[in-house]
Amino acid sequence: MSKYIPVIGLEVHCELKSNSKNFSSASNGEGEVNTNLSVVDIGYPGILPVVNKEAVRKSLMVALALNCEIPEKLSFDRKNYYYPDLPKGYQITQFGNPIGINGYVMIDVDGVEKKISIHDTHLEEDTANMEHLSNYSLIDYNRAGRPLLETVTEPCINSSKEAILYLEALRNIFLYLDVSDARADMGQIRVDVNVSLKRPEDKELGTRVEMKNINSFTTVKEAIEAEIKRQTEILESDGVIEQETRRYDEVNKCTKFLRGKVDAIDYKYYREPNLPEIKLTDNFVDSIKKNMPILEYERKKRYINEYGISNIDAGTLTKDKKLSDYFEDIIINDVNPKETANVIVGFLLGYLNKNNMHIENVEILPKDFGEIIKMMTDGKISNKQVKDIFTKSLNEKKNPLVIAKEMGSQISDKEEIRKIVIEVFKDNPKVVEDYKNGKNVTGFIMGLLMKKTSGKINPGVTNMVLREELEKL
Amino acid sequence: MVNDMTKEELKMLANKLMFEMDDKEYETLLSEFDITLKQMELIGKIKDIDKVSPMTYPFDLELSDSCLREDISNNEISFDDMKINVKDYEDNKVKLPKVVE
Amino acid sequence: MTDKLIDEIRDKMAKNEVTSDMLFDEAVSLGNKYQSDYNSFVTILEKKEEEEGNSKLSGIPYVLKDNISTKGILTTASSNILKDYIPLYDATVYEKLKKAGAVLVGKTVLDELAMGGTGTTGHTGIVRNPWDKNRMAGGSSSGSVSSVALGIVPFAIGSDTGDSIRKPASYCGVVGYKPTYGRVSRYGLFAFTSSLDHVGVIARSVRDVSYVMDVIKGHDEKDMTSLPDEDIKYEDYLENSVKGKKLFYINEALNIKTDNDNLKEIIKNFENTIDKCRELGMEVEKVDFGMDLLEAIYPVYNVISCAEATSNNSNLTGIPFGSRVEGKNVNDIMMKTRTEGFSELIKRRFVIGSYVLQKENQEKLFLNASRARRLIVDRMNELFKKYDGLIMPATEDIAPLFDKASDKLSDEYLILGNHLVLANFGGFPSITIPSGFVKDMPVGVNITGRAKEDYLVLNIANKLEGTLGYKGQVKNNE
């Protein structure tokens, strides 16, 4: 155990889904380079911003899900700096009066609940996308002006593990609320991390070092660990941590100096005069509250309390929103939730894992999935058969109901087959005689069995039973 | 507030705003700062000024969420339109030399 | 014909004695004729735009200040940094005028980026006063005002952040109107100080101003600060009786000792104007405003306008538009573009604006200025509980000679030189109308009313105009 406690704060930028951009009507969607454009987002002289209701609605949903206090009035500020990806020369953001403050998220650290305090969540606009080539740069303005929600924690995270648990919980909030696709690999989630170290007896926090724009959770973890290591080494050798911005070098697995405190930019925040204060009426906020989708922890609670699913299985199901959605779509047709959970956790996830698949790749319709479970709960098929049906269905991309039907009309029961085999022995004494004389009669008897059952007999099981019976002769 | 600004500081301020100024302009600017800061010092002495909330808008427009824009998209310009004012571009993107040396 | 009032022109059009094509040609030819002497224009259109609508302004030629966005038409803000800029969209005010059938003749010179009051800082040269070429037209709506005063067009659109319509209107002997904040959409007006900027009208009568206002006012979904629509037409209120209306003037501004003969004459002119008000049945009283607040007006304006201007003009870097000067890297491009693109005066304003917004200074400078702004506006609103309007001489002097005035910040303080910005602080409707002459140069009177009561300010101004006798005044230099 190190003698230093890491203190970590995270700032997570999340691109919100909407039809149009935050302050203009340009499309907030995918598109060819420089096609989602409005004069507002290019920052031409004379343009004015107009706030997107949907972006506000989604931000409020997140603020509520984060247990934040909501301001009476909405207002925006300008953050001023010069960079070619910021066409107006300022970013419209919320500095003084964010859309949510003083919230929290609960995370489960090895079975112990921990509260991660949220300083604020605020609505702002994204910058243009820049491509840096060997000796020049190119700008695509499609991203400029997209609604971006930045959620800032208090410095209350004490390990890379907690950081990742928090990030996963936050991402799930975005996904459960359906406010963003929250794909870090697509740049829809970007994380700024700040790290400082302190000794247990220290009252004050140590000097913090910031790392900006990390776009994968794995990298966040590595960056935190690398930075903890670097700072520990400095402190161990009686050095001083400088307040600075660093970047994580993924190749060399270490953080590198970017700029120091003296080069820190004064953003000269001030109230955006083109956007008046906008009262958030009770009506508006209440309608959002009323229509809030159920969040991860609420689903989990329901799975445990109402369906009797185990804590672990409920956690596994809800951790992945798409998986949980699939589960919900199955049980909506009166399918036993607990049995369904058992099949999903006990079989399906293992299959997916082994085959490097995700729930999205599963082509079995939830309704069909449910039918099979029902057959099981009705005692028509065994648990083993359920697994066989799904395995075959997934392997061959074949409808499980068709497979079940085929299997159902097949004679697969060992004892039933044994009876038929014995009958065939009785009816064909010559063949039995031939076998006893050392002749290979297996193929011939199989033919007789097929003929007798019009081909409905399960060849695998029959083969096995036949061998057993022959040995008994 | 005492005006102890130097030309160098003003130069730095100008450079942060992405421009250079004529050398002689800094003298004028120093005297302008002198005036402004003196005047603002007087304003700072207005009784209870610190209790007043700063004014951004000429008056309260009394807007509520109903004035927010409905989320309908419309791409009003194309990159072809933009080209008339763009000095250099490549593959429908605005082209610039490297951001940093 | 273009030197006549709108009703007279419409009358001739109704009788088919004149067509909009003829009016356009006349305005263009006058514009060209006066250009070398007075320099009102950045651009004079070669071809008349297609006429669209039908209104009182149908076929009436007009000009726009060159800081108003016109799709496909050069718009420079009279700054080198935008000397080749072609907007991709129309300002709402331009769109409305087009839809009303008004005919754009050209784009007029302003003080660079509207940041100045002299008409001498535009990138295409100085604008001269129609009444005396050795004097300034004032600014920043210099070309808009001079083209109306010269009879080139019956009305013009300008912008007013401190006094940029109303002061030059006074210097050039025409009517200048700054409506209530938000009454006319700012969408497409190049921002200088967003919280003080207004689009307004210059014309030769209060009635003509009202006609234009009735077309350009209204809520705009592209401008969140624009006011809801009113269900009225200002022209319907013009002739209402103003009997019993109460006006005040600021005692401290007029109760002064001065050696300036012009100022003495202006005060005399003002007293005469007050008499006319009383003849109309209005009450006029002097009020002690409070010297500490009056002295705060100028620094408050200075600090707020510089601060907002710095931010508003950060988009001018030469990257997606603007006169890019090449450099070895991006910083170098921005640096050179802005260094060459802005005049030194503008840069000084930006440095001041940036300084007052800095984290360590913002509280004492920008925010204290914003607090003083509220105190001043609160005082105005308190007075507006008792009075319907503020009446003041528009300026402290006649249009200055070119070698006299400067745009340097000064510590010389004259309330009469700065009171017009009171209307910008509180978004109050404010109008300047000609009230006579001093040394053969026009002077004006200003009336400022309660926010949102544009109709009343226009009503009072119209009645007063009727008794002053300068309606339709033109300096015809043919």
Q: What is the dihedral of CA A412, A416, A420, A422, to 10 degrees?
A: 120
C442 burial level (CB within 10 Å; 0-12, 13-18, 19+) = buried
Asked if A211 contacts A192 with a C-beta cutoff of 8 angstroms, the reply is: yes
Q: What is the 3-state secondary structure (H, E, C) of C284-328?
A: EEEECCCHHHHHHHHHHHHHHHHHHHHHHCCCCCCCCCCCCCCCC
Which of A35, A53, A276 lies nearest to residue B69, judging by beta carbons?
A53
Residues A107, A215, single domain; the answer is: yes
Indicate whether A202 and A307 sit together in one domain. Answer: no
Look at residues C207, C215, C187, C217 and name the one whose alpha carbon lies nearest to residue C463. Answer: C207
Q: Give the whole-angstrom CA distance, residue A459 versus residue A411.
A: 9
Please state the rounded mean pLDDT for residues C61-67: 98
Q: How far apart are CA A48 and CA A275, in angstroms?
A: 9
Instruction: Reply yes or no on whether C354 is catalytic.
Output: no
Average pLDDT for C255-284: 94
Q: How far apart are the first and last CA of chain B?
A: 39
Exactly one of C4, C48, C56, C65 is catalytic; which is it? Answer: C65
Number of CB atoms found within 10 A of residue A438's CB = 6
Candidates C417, C461, C432, C337; CA nearest to C141 is: C432
C323 inside 8 A of chain A by CB: no
C-alpha–C-alpha distance, residues A156 and C335, integer Å: 42
Domain assignment present for B80: no
Q: What separation in angstroms does the CA of A302 have from each of A122, A308, A325, C331? A: 31, 9, 14, 57
Q: How far is the C-alpha of A457 from the C-alpha of A455, rounded, in Å?
A: 6
On whether both A363 and A442 belong to a single domain, the answer is no
3-class DSSP assignment, residue A14 = strand
**Known catalytic membership, residue C65:** yes
Q: Report how far residue A436's alpha carbon sits from residue A414's, in angstroms, rounded to the nearest whole number.
A: 24
Last-in-domain residue among A375, A409, A443: A409
Each residue's pLDDT tens digit in chain A (473 positions)? 468 999 999 999 999 999 999 999 999 998 999 999 999 999 999 999 999 999 999 999 999 999 999 999 999 999 999 999 999 999 999 999 999 999 999 999 998 999 999 999 999 999 999 999 988 999 999 999 999 999 999 999 999 999 999 999 999 999 999 999 999 999 999 999 999 999 999 999 999 999 999 989 999 999 999 999 999 999 999 999 999 999 999 899 999 998 888 778 899 999 999 999 999 999 999 999 999 999 999 999 999 999 999 999 999 999 999 999 999 999 999 999 999 999 999 999 999 999 999 999 999 999 999 999 998 888 778 788 899 899 999 999 999 999 988 876 677 778 888 988 998 899 888 888 888 888 888 888 988 888 887 667 777 788 888 888 888 88
Residue ranges covered by each domain of chain C? 6-244+430-468
Measured CA angle at A17 (ends A15, A20), to 5 deg? 105
Task: Give the other-Cβ count within 10 Å of B1's Cβ.
Answer: 11
Distance from C-alpha of B58 to C-alpha of C227, rounded to nearest angstrom: 12
Using a CB–CB cutoff of 8 Å, tell me whether A292 touches chain C.
Answer: no
Between residues 39 and 98 of chain A, which touch chain B (CB distance below 8 Å)?
39, 42, 50-56, 74, 82, 84
Q: Do B94 and A28 touch (CB under 8 A)?
A: no
Angle of helix A282-290 relative to helix A53-65, nearest 10 degrees?
Answer: 60
C-alpha A272/C-alpha A92 separation (Å) is: 7
Can you give the pLDDT at residue A416?
Answer: 82
Residue of C nearest to B98 (CA): C329
Residues A214 and A258 occupy one common structural domain = yes
Residue A335: domain span: 294-409
C91 → closest Cβ in A43, A46, A270:
A46
First vs last Cα of chain A: how many Å apart? 70
Q: Rounded to 5 degrees, what are φ and ψ at C296?
A: -80, -20
User: Chain C residues with CB inside 8 Å of B54's CB?
Assistant: 367, 370-371, 373-374
Per the structure, the count of domains in chain B is 1
Same domain assignment for residues A333 and A440: no
E strand or H helix that includes residue C467 = helix C454-468
- The helix (run of H) or strand (run of E) holding residue A404 is helix A400-409
Whether residue C370 and residue B55 make contact (CB cut-off 8 A), yes or no, is yes
How far is Cα C132 from Cα C118, in angstroms, rounded to an integer?
A: 14
Task: Give me the mean pLDDT over the C292-299 stretch.
Answer: 95
Q: How many CB atoms lie within 10 A of CB B31?
A: 15
Domain that holds residue B13: 1-49
Catalytic residue among C20, C142, C147, C164: C164
C164 in active site: yes
Residue B72 has pLDDT above 90, yes or no: yes
CA A34 – CA A439 distance, rounded (Å): 79
Classify domain C6-244+430-468 at the CATH superfamily level.
Amidase signature (AS) domain (3.90.1300.10)
Using CB atoms, pick whichever of A49, A88, A141 lies closest to residue C314.
A88
Whether residue C85 and residue B85 make contact (CB cut-off 8 A), yes or no, is yes
To probe the interface with C, which of B30, B47, B59, B80 has the most C CB atoms within 10 Å? B59
Judged on CB neighbours under 10 Å (0-12, 13-18, 19+), C423 is buried
A199 and A160 share one domain: yes
Q: How confident is the model at residue B1 (pLDDT cuts 50, 70, 90)?
A: very low
Using the beta-carbon criterion (under 8 Å), do C223 and A49 form an inter-chain contact? no
Same domain, A379 and A300: yes
Residues A232, A238, A243, A247: what is their CA dihedral angle, to the nearest 10 degrees? -40
Put simply, the answer to whether B65 touches A277 (Cβ < 8 Å) is: no
How far is the C-alpha of A51 from the C-alpha of A147, rounded, in Å? 10
Using only C-alpha atoms, chain A has a radius of gyration, in whole angstroms, of 31
Nearest CA in chain C to B34: C411
- Between A321-331 and A311-319, two packed helices, what is the crossing angle to 10 degrees? 110
| Same domain for A196 and A110 | yes
Q: Give the mean pLDDT of C374-399.
A: 97
Provide, as residue numbers in chain B, all residues whose Cβ is less than 8 Å from the Cβ of A258.
Answer: none
pLDDT reported for residue C413? 61
CA distances in angstroms from B19 to B15, C32, C383, listed in the order given: 5, 36, 44
Round to whole Å and give the CA distance between A99 and A172: 20
C327 to B22: CB separation less than 8 angstroms, yes or no: no
Count of domains observed in chain A? 3
